[in-house]
Structure formats: C-alpha cells, structure tokens
C-alpha cells in the first residue's frame, strides 16, 4: 500500500496542508477537535512524516550518532540499552556505528554520520589522537560532539567517564590484599584508556613497595579476531607460568581481556584463584555464573549513558556559541565487585 502524504491528508479532509502540519505538531492555532480528527485519520492511514522535509524546515533530524569501538561486550550492550531508553524518552533516535578500534573505520563512520545529518554525536574514540582534526571540525562547524567512556581526548567538549587511574588502583590493591604481588596486567594495545589504567596499576604496586616488572605488562592487539586473541593469551600465560617466577594474579584492563582470560586459564587447567587470582574491568551480567565467579570493576553504564545524552541534547538545543560554553568532565564512581576468582579459602 502506497504511503499517504501530508498533501493527501489535506485533500481528503478538505483542509490546507499547513493546517494538517500544525495539527500534527500540536499547534495552539488549531482547535482540539481538528487536531483529534487529523491525528485519527493519520493514524488510521499509517501516515509517516518525511524526515528530509522536517530537516529542511527545522534544521533537525532528531537523530543522534553513536560511535563505539565495538558492540560485542556487555559494557557496550548496556550503554546502548540505556542510550536507547534515554533517546526515546527525549523523542530522539540514534544511528549506531562501530570503529572496531580502527582509526580508518572510525573516520568512515564519522563521515557517514555527518552525511546522514545527525544532530549530534556521542563517541568513545579509538585512541587519544584518532581523527582529532575531523572531530574538531565536526564539533565546531557541523554538529556537537560529546566524548564518553574513553574521555582522555583533546577536544573542548563535555566528557563523561570514570576515574581510570583510581579504579585500576583499587582493583590492583584487592590482589595485593590477598598477598598476590606478581600480577600480570593485560592491556589493549593503542586504546585510549590503557595508559591511565596502567598508571593505577603501577601506583598501587609502588605504594605497597612491590617492584614493577615491565615483562608483566602485556599489550594485546584488538584488531585481531577473538580466536587469535585467545591464542595469544594462551601462549603468553604458558610462557610466564614456565618462568622462574610465575605470576599468581592477572589484572584485565578491558572487558574482553578480563572475560577471555578466564576461559583460557580453564583450557590450560590452571586453577583460579588457587594458582592465579583474576580481577578486571567487566560489566558482564552473568559474572556470578562463571566458574569461578569473576571479580570485576563494574562501570555505571546507565548513569554514563543518560548523562552523556543529556549533555549532548543540551548542546544541540543551546543557542550559545560553543566557545562560550563551560564544558564539563564528569567522572563517575565505579564499584569493585569481589567474587570467587579472588577469594582464597
């Protein structure tokens, strides 16, 4: 069935197109009886407004671009769930893109979103320097940009994330408290938050007078497949376990590494936490169901999503020049959730 147009509704109801438009937009100029008649007719005939026409008239699409490194993790899934909820509540839709932690893919995604005429962009950048000039041009000349999750990025805008140094410090400290001092730190290579999470790891070791072993800081290339990442983790763990001073704990600085390493240890028949204790960043919802239950650094995804979206909508609706706006960097509290992977009996 062909879509009915605004002009066709006007013709059928013997009203002008402008009256139909005003009625559908709840204008005070139109009587309640006319509004009711127009809405019922539009609903009965499944009328869908033309988004391009609305954009040309109002300069807005009510679409927001969301660009994440990947959408495979529980952390990303939760962010998207809460972003969708907040966007719908504010009468916005969002267009989702992912960079796969690749700067070129991030560039393509940003250009796609701007070509779609989005009203604003929420982004967790690939790295601290990825596509800086492009994002600056978009933010200053096209549509507002808000940075979230990976907030260590040189763009003068709102940023919403966590205190990565403190969160990793506290996780490392939990391992030290159970007398696990030979700690491997698995990190994402060329990821924007890595150096700050490592700073927390190093600081905790220093504060407890534990020597920092550079060979215990291991970078994993996120551009590889999960199978390749697992194979790499397995080789690294085998090599370290066969050394003269084998590790007795693992800290994962990303959700992918934290959750994948538990499976690798199981394949290698390394007992957790008896031989190696494990803790790391993860919002996985079935952490209690893993064997053993996984100790995690849990990030407040609902608060992060709603806060980032609110700040972006403020920028979209602001009449002020962006150079006059006092941008905020908001650090949300994480929580350490201790489970059996760090509980010694």
Domains of the chain: 6-49 (no CATH), 58-161+301-332 (3.40.50.2300), 164-300+336-342 (3.40.50.2300)
Q: How far is CA 342 from CA 171, 205, 268, in A?
A: 10, 17, 18
Those residues whose C-beta lies under 8 Å from the C-beta of residue 263, and which sit 6 or more positions away, are 230
301-317 helix and 74-89 helix, angle to the nearest 10 degrees: 40
What are the distances in angstroms from CA 262 to CA 94, 138, 156? 34, 41, 39
- Residue 170 sits at φ, ψ, to 5 deg, of -65, -40
Beta bridge partners of 331: 161
Contact indicator for 142, 247 with CB cutoff of 8 Å: no
What is the C-alpha to C-alpha distance for residues 135 and 150, in angstroms, rounded to an integer? Answer: 14
Residue 208 makes CB contacts below 8 A (sequence gap 6+) with 173, 176, 181
State the Cα–Cα distance between residues 154 and 293, nearest whole angstrom: 38
- Which contacts of 320-327 are long-range, i.e. CB under 8 A and separated by 24 or more positions? 322/139, 322/140, 322/144, 322/156, 322/157, 327/156, 327/157, 327/158, 327/159
Calculated CA dihedral for residues 75, 237, 189, 179, nearest 10 degrees? 70
Q: 30 in helix, strand or coil? A: coil
Q: What pLDDT is recorded for position 308? A: 97
| Distance separating alpha carbons of residues 322 and 141, to the nearest angstrom | 10
Structure tokens at 276: 């190696």
Owner of token pair 């009510």: 62
H/E element, 266: helix 255-267
pLDDT at 42: 86
Q: What is the pLDDT along the chain (345 residues), one digit of tens a residue?
A: 457 888 888 888 988 888 888 888 777 888 999 989 988 888 888 877 665 555 545 557 889 999 999 888 899 999 999 999 999 888 899 899 999 989 999 999 999 999 888 999 999 999 999 999 999 999 999 999 999 999 999 999 999 999 999 999 999 999 999 999 999 999 998 887 999 999 999 999 999 999 999 999 999 998 888 899 999 999 999 999 999 999 999 999 999 999 999 999 999 999 999 999 999 999 998 888 888 999 999 999 999 999 999 999 999 988 877 777 899 999 999 999 999 999 976
Q: Between vectors from CA 286 to CA 285 and to CA 287, what angle results, nearest 5°? A: 95
The helix/strand/coil state of 238 is helix
- At residue 56, the pLDDT reads 47
Residue 281: φ, ψ to 5°? -70, 125
Question: What does the alpha-carbon distance between residue 49 and residue 80 come to, in Å, rounded to a whole number?
Answer: 26
Residue 25: its pLDDT value, please?
Answer: 74
The H or E element spanning position 220 is strand 217-220
Q: How many other CB atoms are there within 10 angstroms of residue 28's CB atom?
A: 6
Question: In the prediction, which pLDDT does 212 show?
Answer: 96
Q: Label the pairing between strands 249-252 and 183-188.
A: parallel
């Amino acid at each position: 069935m062909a879509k009915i147009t605004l002009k066709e509704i006007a013709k059928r109801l013997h009203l002008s197109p402008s009256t139909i438009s005003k009625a559908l937009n709840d204008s005070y100029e139109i009587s309640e009886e006319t509004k009711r008649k127009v809405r019922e007719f539009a609903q009965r005939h499944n009328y869908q407004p033309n988004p391009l026409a609305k954009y040309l008239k109002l300069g807005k699409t009510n679409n927001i671009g969301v660009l994440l490194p990947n959408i495979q993790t529980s952390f990303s899934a939760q962010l998207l769930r809460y972003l969708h909820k907040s966007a719908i509540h504010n009468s916005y839709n969002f267009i989702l893109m992912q960079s796969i932690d690749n700067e070129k893919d991030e560039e393509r995604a940003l250009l796609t979103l701007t070509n779609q005429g989005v009203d604003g962009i929420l982004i967790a950048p690939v790295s601290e320097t990825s596509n800086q000039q492009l994002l600056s041009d978009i933010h200053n000349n096209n549509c507002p940009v808000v940075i979230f999750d990976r907030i260590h990025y040189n763009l003068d805008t709102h940023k919403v994330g966590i205190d990565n140094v403190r969160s990793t410090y506290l996780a490392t400290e939990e391992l030290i408290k159970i007398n696990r001092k030979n700690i491997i730190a698995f990190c994402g290579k060329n990821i924007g938050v890595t150096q700050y999470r490592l700073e927390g790891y190093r600081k905790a070791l220093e504060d407890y007078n534990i020597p920092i072993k550079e060979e215990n800081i291991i970078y994993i290339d996120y551009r590889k497949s999960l199978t390749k990442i697992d194979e790499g983790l397995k080789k690294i763990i085998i090599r370290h376990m066969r050394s003269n001073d084998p590790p007795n704990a693992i800290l994962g600085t990303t959700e992918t590494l934290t959750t994948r390493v538990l499976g690798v240890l199981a394949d290698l028949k390394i007992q957790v936490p008896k031989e190696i204790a494990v803790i790391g960043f993860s919002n996985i919802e079935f952490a209690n169901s893993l064997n053993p239950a996984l100790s995690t650094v849990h990030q407040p995804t609902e608060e992060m999503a709603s806060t980032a979206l609110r700040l972006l909508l403020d920028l979209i609706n602001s009449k002020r020049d962006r150079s006059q706006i006092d941008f905020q960097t908001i650090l949300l509290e994480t929580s350490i959730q201790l489970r059996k992977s760090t509980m010694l009996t």
